[in-house]
């Protein structure tokens, strides 16, 4: 068979059918290589990196590119959001929650906030005025009991009825005062208590097998990526 001479300055173009005839299975191998490279290039869904210092884990039911995350990134995210579950698949992690602040420390932080401090000052002023008015009314009623009895006799009201009416009035005043103080205190304490209980340090408890499995997957992904690079080099050599 005589060799084919290509004129100088011309180019040799190979179509897809010629390529498949020359190297059967190269297209399938190239497609497989791309899929393996994509598996080996998984990144953390929070920091969007894949460092060798901390392995990627898949701790919840998320799939695809959102399946992998660093343990440190996940713990920081859960601490910032005060959650113990995945916000995507609602999977509840096995966590240990500890209070972030002690009782007195949490009170100091809560009071130092400008809005909370203004609310407390307003309620404290209301409490002071209400206490002064209540104490004044109770004092006047107790000291003026005899006067009310004398005035009641003048209009035909017995001593018993007068004392009963004054005591009933004092009871209503005291109950109203206690109820108001209770509601004011509850309005101040409840938000602080909810904030204190929700502000916790979250620590994940993970299965050690998960880290070993993730490390193996990362190693397999790296090995597959290396194999894919070698296959691509061979393809370039064949076409070259």
Residue-wise pLDDT tens digits, 53-98: 778 888 888 888 888 888 888 888 888 887 888 888 988 888 888 8
The range of the structural domain enclosing residue 54 comes to 42-93
Question: Contact at 8 Å (CB) between 204 and 94?
Answer: yes
Q: CA-CA distance, 185 to 132, in Å (whole number)?
A: 18
Task: Give the pLDDT band (50/70/90) at residue 217.
Answer: low
Most confident listed range (39-53, 101-115, 200-214): 101-115
Do 69 and 133 sit in the same domain of this protein? no
Question: Is residue 134 located within the same domain as residue 57?
Answer: no
Each as own residue / partner, the long-range contacts of residues 139-145 (CB below 8 Å, 24 or more positions apart, any chain) are 141/166, 141/169, 141/170, 142/170
Residue 3's pLDDT is 45
Closest CA to 56 of 166, 189, 213, 205: 213
From 37-41, 103-107, 138-142, 173-177, the region with the lowest mean pLDDT: 37-41
180 shares its domain with 114: yes
Q: Give kind and range of the element (H or E) at residue 214.
A: helix 208-239
Residue ending a domain, among 93, 128, 162, is 93
- 109 compared with 155, residue with greater pLDDT: 109
Number of folded domains that form the chain: 2
Say whether both 126 and 85 belong to one domain: no
Residues 173-193, mean pLDDT to the nearest whole number: 95
Q: Residue 123: its pLDDT value, please?
A: 94
Residue 106 has pLDDT above 90, yes or no: yes
Q: Do residues 56 and 50 touch, judged by C-beta distance below 8 A?
A: yes
Question: The domain spanning residue 68 has which CATH number?
Answer: 3.30.40.10
Q: Hunting for tokens 């992904």 — which residue is that?
A: 221
Band of pLDDT at residue 103, cut at 50, 70 and 90: very high
Confidence of residue 170 (pLDDT cuts 50, 70, 90): very high
* Residue 237 scores a pLDDT above 50: no
For residue 97, the surrounding DSSP H or E stretch is strand 95-99
In this structure, what are the phi and psi dihedrals at residue 125, rounded to the nearest 5 degrees? -65, -40
Give the C-alpha separation, 176 to 123, whole Å. Answer: 16
Residue 48 pLDDT more than 70? Answer: yes
């Amino acid at each position: 068979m005589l060799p084919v001479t290509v004129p100088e300055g011309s180019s040799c173009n190979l179509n897809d059918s010629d390529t498949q005839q020359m190297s059967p299975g190269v297209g399938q191998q190239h497609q497989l290589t791309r899929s393996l490279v994509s598996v080996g290039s998984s990144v953390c869904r929070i920091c969007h990196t894949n460092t060798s210092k901390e392995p990627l884990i898949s701790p919840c039911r998320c799939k695809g590119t959102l399946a992998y995350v660093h343990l440190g990134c996940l713990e920081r995210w859960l601490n910032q959001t005060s959650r113990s579950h995945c916000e995507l698949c609602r999977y509840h992690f096995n966590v240990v929650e500890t209070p972030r602040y002690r009782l007195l420390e949490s009170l100091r932080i809560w009071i130092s906030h400008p809005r909370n401090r203004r609310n407390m000052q307003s309620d404290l002023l209301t409490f002071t005025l209400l206490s002064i008015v209540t104490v004044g009314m109770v004092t006047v009623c107790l000291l003026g009991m005899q006067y009310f009895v004398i005035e009641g006799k003048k209009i035909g009201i017995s001593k018993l009825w007068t004392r009963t009416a004054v005591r009933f009035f004092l009871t209503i005043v005291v109950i109203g005062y206690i109820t108001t103080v209770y509601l004011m205190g509850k309005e101040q304490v409840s938000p602080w208590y909810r904030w204190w209980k929700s502000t916790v340090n979250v620590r994940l408890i993970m299965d050690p097998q998960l880290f070993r499995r993730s490390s193996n997957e990362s190693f397999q992904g790296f090995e597959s990526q290396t194999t894919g690079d070698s296959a691509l080099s061979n393809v370039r050599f064949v076409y070259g």
